[in-house]
Structure 1
Amino acid sequence: MVEHPFLGGLSALPLIKSGRSRAVNAENPKGEKGKGGMAASHLGPSRKGSPCIRDVAPGATAVLADIDGPGIIEHIWITVTDQTEAGTFVLRDLVLRMYWDEETEPSVESPLGDFFCNGFGRGCTVNSQAIVVNPTRGFNCYFPMPFRRKARIEIENQHEAAIPALFYQIDYCLHDELPEQTAYFHARWKRQRITDKAEDYVILDNVKGRGQYVGTYMALTTLERYWWGEGEIKMYIDGDDEYPTICGTGTEDYFGGAWSFATQRDGKTVENTYCTTYMGYPYYSSHDEDVHNLYHNDDAPPMRGFYRWHILDPIRFHEDLKVTIQQIGVYKKGLFERQDDVASVAYWYQTEPHQPYGPLAQKEERWPR
């Protein structure tokens, strides 16, 4: 009988399991047993001799992990600078990719920041179960990522300058085998710089196979005035055509908030950001933070970042899945169709093989407004 290695939580800590704990980082890039921290520094042997990957050149790809399985990645930690002399959008210029079992098409492809719920090339604190971002840009991911034969994780530098230091650690556990019904982790970034009026923004489509949808990150730049959050999220499951099986009641409702996330304080409307275990609104800004830019005018449109984890309520599908969200606002005359700038990351598990994602948008098309 195959042991179920995914059973976790505090109640499972007393249970002895058969897995073998390993980690890869710049001090032990192959995760070999008994070979961590061997690099020497001026302090001597095994004294912080290789804490990071240095000087990742423009166009280069840094391999963070190349692991033989079976195993499960249990935690990822990464941190980098968010700007260089060449620009301030490093977190959108670095592309994170993950490949399982020697596949040629990535199962995960996203700008580094957006994967960790830090869109717009800007860092912010996130405190949730699946993604945690601590000051300053301490990116953590706790989504389990199983693999049977091999796991490969890499970051491509599409920035115009070298990344001076890339710090990371990937904690995983090796197993003799995984349960037959084990699915693979996937994540995909998308963006529509101006949504089409009266047409839903597509968060995820072309998913074929069996699995479950487990999360959404949305980076919304509003391009019109008035309240923007009446759009309903839709889940088209297993052959749904014109109408979905699941349809929400509004954007702020889907992300767990209410009444426009706002309160009145001293005669002014105040945005209430928040982070909770499964849903949050961690980022709001209407300012251009690139204060060192000669052309800085502080004229950025409002930017908002949201996350929702379907951990206790995964969206299960057996054949196919499509996820969309409407762009609908409201003002004193009622509801109206909007056009905004929407980017998103969809997170899900499914059986392999998965459908190819198509080319990722060029870096200039990923930059925030």
Structure 2
Amino acid sequence: MIGTSLRDLYKPRKGKSKRASSYDTTGGNRDYLKVYPGDVVDVCNITGSGCITHIWMTMAPLEDTLEEYLHRKVVIRMYWDGETNPSVQAPIGDFFGMGHGITRNFSSAPLAMSPEDGRSLNSFFPMPFGKQARIEIENNADDPIKFYFYIDHEIYDEEIDSPLRFHALWKRELTDGIKDEVSNALFEFGGKNTTGDGNYVFFEAEGKGHYVGCNLNIHNLRMTREWNWYGEGDDMIFIDGEPWPPSLHGTGMEDYFNTAWCPTQEYNSPYHGIILGGGPNWSGKVSYYRFHIQDPIMFDKSIKVSIEHGHNNNRSDDYSSTAYWYQTEPHKDHPIILPVAKRIPLADILGFNEDDMKKCFDY
């Protein structure tokens, strides 16, 4: 198919431009779906050969005020070509680029949260399909919502030109570090990781394809007045079952995200950025993104994308992420998403206690 650069815009194209949207089919102005708690609703079910080119979505309360952490309580799933296990599964806010159940204005090449206050959710990832594309929304919130959407796509008279399909998977984990009963220098820098065991794993896949990026959200759970940088964890990407050290081994979390020197400044660029920079002494919650659009990471049989949680996996923090990739089907079955109680972010550190943690994590 013709590319999407400025240089290609004058070239003739094959296919038809289509849209599925929530417009009021009566001609009125109620341009939304009513989605009640517990509802699972198809927002599109497209047949034929084609490609989704853009998705815009936003939500509002049906009554009263916007529910807290709504963007962690509503789940988006996508299915290609009649599959029954979704290729895409994530809380809606995390899928569109940011975790913690909140939204912020940011702009990248494939994903953006636009004003007002980041509640306009946009994806420009191309999502090809050979026979069918189905997208569903599940409302796990306490209250009903208004759900607005555009799903812009193209339909072709010929077969789609790739066997790869778009995938995205969200996960959350309270990382298992060491006890904070050693010197701060040993806690932050001690030990050696020569296996990659115990790393935080963004995703594992089997098949042929390429990894195209992720967002990573960390809540620093360590309370100390000593140096409390949560990073130092090396990224390790294992291709086709290779042993440690993998051919793609990095030097630190902030380095993988194309930043440096324990950053706190918020920054957006097309392929990397910091949406949420955290508090004093690297406290609180942060959100990073890195997209491999110009440098996709290819695999022929399998891939495991991982990162240490602190040097040598010494830190115990609240990690969540969404990974994005393209691969041949069938894919490994994605597990059922965590129940909503285990998706809700922990309170900010000053109000956080063990009971809060038990609501989100098994001991």
Name the residue aligned to 2:361. Answer: none
Do residues 361 (structure 1) and 361 (structure 2) align?
no
Name the residue aligned to 1:10. Answer: 6
Structure 2 residue aligned with 1:69, among 48, 55, 61? 48
Which whole-Å CA distance do the structure 2 matches of 1:353 and 1:279 have between them?
A: 30
Tell me how far 1:87 sits from its aligned partner: 4.4
Name the residue aligned to 2:327. Answer: 350
Tell me how far 1:118 sits from its aligned partner: 2.2
Query: Residue 85 of structure 1 contacts residue 161 of structure 1 at CA under 8 Å; is this kept in 2?
Result: no
Do residues 222 (structure 1) and 193 (structure 2) align?
no
Which whole-Å CA distance do the structure 1 matches of 2:22 and 2:174 have between them?
A: 37
Name the residue aligned to 1:39. Answer: 26
Structure 1 residue aligned with 2:126, among 144, 147, 166? 144
Deviation per residue, 1:182-224 (Å, 9 max, x gap): 310000001102334472111112x110000001111111112
Letter in 1 for 2:37: P
Query: Residue 177 of structure 2 contacts residue 313 of structure 2 at CA under 8 Å; is this kept in 1?
Result: no
Name the residue aligned to 2:308. Answer: 326
Which whole-Å CA distance do the structure 1 matches of 2:109 and 2:74 have between them?
A: 24
Which whole-Å CA distance do the structure 1 matches of 2:278 and 2:221 have between them?
A: 14
SS at 1:313 equivalent: coil
Which whole-Å CA distance do the structure 1 matches of 2:161 and 2:120 have between them?
A: 34
SS at 1:212 equivalent: strand
Distance 1:280 1:21, change over 3 A: same
Structure 2 residue aligned with 1:135, among 88, 102, 115? 115
Tell me how far 1:242 sits from its aligned partner: 3.4
Which whole-Å CA distance do the structure 1 matches of 2:343 and 2:113 have between them?
A: 21
SS at 2:288 equivalent: strand
Which whole-Å CA distance do the structure 2 matches of 1:240 and 1:70 have between them?
A: 36
Which whole-Å CA distance do the structure 2 matches of 1:357 and 1:62 have between them?
A: 20
Name the residue aligned to 1:183. Answer: 164
Do residues 156 (structure 1) and 154 (structure 2) align?
no
Structure 1 residue aligned with 2:150, among 166, 169, 172? 169
Tell me how far 1:102 sits from its aligned partner: 0.8
Which whole-Å CA distance do the structure 2 matches of 1:236 and 1:24 have between them?
A: 38
TM-score using structure 2 length: 0.83
Name the residue aligned to 1:192. Answer: 173
Name the residue aligned to 2:92. Answer: 112
SS at 2:262 equivalent: helix
Name the residue aligned to 2:265. Answer: 272
Name the residue aligned to 1:264. Answer: none
* Consecutive unaligned residues in structure 1, runs of 5 or more: 28-36, 42-48, 262-270, 288-300, 330-334
Do residues 341 (structure 1) and 318 (structure 2) align?
yes
Name the residue aligned to 1:21. Answer: 17
Name the residue aligned to 1:242. Answer: 244
Query: Which runs of structure 2 are paired with 1:243-262 in the superposition (5 Å)?
Result: 243-261=245-263
Structure 2 residue aligned with 1:78, among 57, 65, 75? 57
Tell me how far 1:232 sits from its aligned partner: 0.8
Higher helix share: 2
Letter in 2 for 1:304: V
Query: Residue 126 of structure 1 contacts residue 133 of structure 1 at CA under 8 Å; is this kept in 2?
Result: yes
Give the superposed CA RMSD. 2.0
Letter in 1 for 2:335: G
Query: Residue 74 of structure 1 contacts residue 144 of structure 1 at CA under 8 Å; is this kept in 2?
Result: yes
SS at 1:260 equivalent: coil
Moved more, 70-79 or 335-344: 335-344
SS at 2:125 equivalent: coil
Distance 1:327 1:113, change over 3 A: same
Number of residue-to-residue matches in the alignment: 319
Query: Residue 215 of structure 1 contacts residue 348 of structure 1 at CA under 8 Å; is this kept in 2?
Result: yes
Tell me how far 1:227 sits from its aligned partner: 1.1
Name the residue aligned to 1:213. Answer: 211
Distance 1:116 1:84, change over 3 A: farther
Deviation per residue, 1:339-364 (Å, 9 max, x gap): 11100001000000001011211111
Deviation per residue, 1:56-82 (Å, 9 max, x gap): 111001211100120000000001138
Letter in 2 for 1:241: P
